[in-house]
Amino acid sequence: MKIGIFGAGTVGGGVIEIIEKQEKFLESQGLNIQIVQCCVRNPEKYKDKISEKIKLVENVNDILEDKSIDIIVELIGGTGVAKEIIFEAIRRGKHVVTANKAVIAENLPELEKLLAKNPSVCFAYEAAVGGGIPIIQTLQNELLADNINKISGIFNGTTNFILSKMEEEGLSYQEVLKEAQELGYAEADPVADVGGFDARAKLAILMKLSFGLTIDEKLIYTQGMERITDVDFTYAKEFGSTIKLIAFAESNSLGVMAYVSPVLLSNKNQLSKINGVTNAIMINSEFLEESVFIGKGAGRFPTANSIVSDILSIKKGLKNKAFPMSSKVVFEEGLSSQFYIRFQIKDGIGIIRRVGELCEKYGVSVHSISQLPIGNHKDLPFILTTEKTTRAAVEYLANDIKKLDFCNEKPFFMPIIN
């Protein structure tokens, strides 16, 4: 089986390294695979790094038009050229292995159609969600006949590293972000991670596999972690909880609702125990009840290993249908949950009454009110937790609270998971 690979960076280099290192073992398994071409922007740069057996090329068509190549591996990232490469390879009947969650999530309907037209093509993307965690295979196969009712997870190592560090060391978001950037855990422009968009693309893919739902990922309510402060961690501790950036989707009688947001997460939940850059995916289903998969969500070798295992599956003739589920279930844009609401106030008389009146106005039932003696009396945090209600109601409530004279800023709110 001959392979053409696009990209020789962190993951691409890792794939080449694993296949070289394990060559003899793979041959002993009857799994002879061979990387014949590698397409990079600047071949000169890689000349000394990559084995002579692999031809370095600059033009994507050198690989796409090579009829001897059975599988292409797309690892250049982004949604421009990468999309063109993936789609053109499928049209030419080549199997595709990719780690590109963005291309998949953005082009799901089109991709499904193209794959239906080319039924002999395997499209494999184990590395796109959860890096080294074999969640795609598990959903395509082990959980296929089960009924999944909930997905929740820590899908982004960068944000989990930042939140864990904020909690452990009492540092601010900005301080830890800077450290994460210096360590190479966060990008110079961190918005895809800290804004929740990376997690959103992964969630959209898992929603397709779990519920058969093809949606525009932009419809998923997505809130970043930028407003989390040490005050929130102090209250989280009071509530026997922690704070994690969670991607969440749940099937209920109305359809499927989903969000990506920081969440006040009970310490009883397995996901609360996942710290640092580790990822974790929790699946609740009718037959298996609760399953949790924990592993490295990114990095050279974890991601490369998933790419290699996809290649081997195709070589063995064992690759599952890429998106086996399709269903008529509806996507619920509105989400309901218990909520944690924090606003900063100038201390005074009558605050609880006025907040209470607004809660009543929007039909929001109050679960608890807390105000620890932290901060100064001109800027005190005030925490309200609600019973189950809709995000829309909390949004209205927050906007009205903001207008009250004692309120210093727009309330911050996030869902609660027990």
Binding site for a copy of itself (CB under 8 A): 18-19, 22, 25-26, 29, 126, 132-134, 137-138, 141-146, 270, 273, 278, 286-296, 301-302, 304-306, 308-309, 312-313, 316-320, 324
Q: Which of 83, 101, 165, 202 is catalytic?
A: 202
Query: Based on CB atoms, which residue is closest to a copy of itself, 3 or 351?
Result: 3
Minimum CB distance to a copy of itself, residue 204 (Å): 22
Spell out the SS3 assignment of 73-134: EECCCCCCHHHHHHHHHHHCCCEEEECCHHHHHHCHHHHHHHHHHCCCCCEECHHHCCCCCC
Query: Based on CB atoms, which residue is closest to a copy of itself, 272 or 389?
Result: 272
Number of H helices, E strands in the chain: 16, 18
Query: Based on CB atoms, which residue is closest to a copy of itself, 25 or 67?
Result: 25
Distances (CA, A) of 364 to 341, 348, 383, 384, 390: 12, 23, 14, 11, 8
What distance in Å separates the CA atoms of residue 386 and residue 341, rounded to the nearest whole number?
8
3-state helix, strand, coil in the chain (%, to 5): 40, 25, 35
Minimum CB distance to a copy of itself, residue 260 (Å): 23
Query: Based on CB atoms, which residue is closest to a copy of itself, 184 or 317?
Result: 317
Minimum CB distance to a copy of itself, residue 11 (Å): 12
Minimum CB distance to a copy of itself, residue 153 (Å): 13
What distance in Å separates the CA atoms of residue 383 and residue 25, rounded to the nearest whole number?
58
Query: Based on CB atoms, which residue is closest to a copy of itself, 190 or 302?
Result: 302
What distance in Å separates the CA atoms of residue 38 and residue 46, rounded to the nearest whole number?
10
Distances (CA, A) of 174 to 26, 188, 409: 46, 13, 19
319 counts as catalytic? no
Minimum CB distance to a copy of itself, residue 235 (Å): 23
What is the set of active-site residues? 202
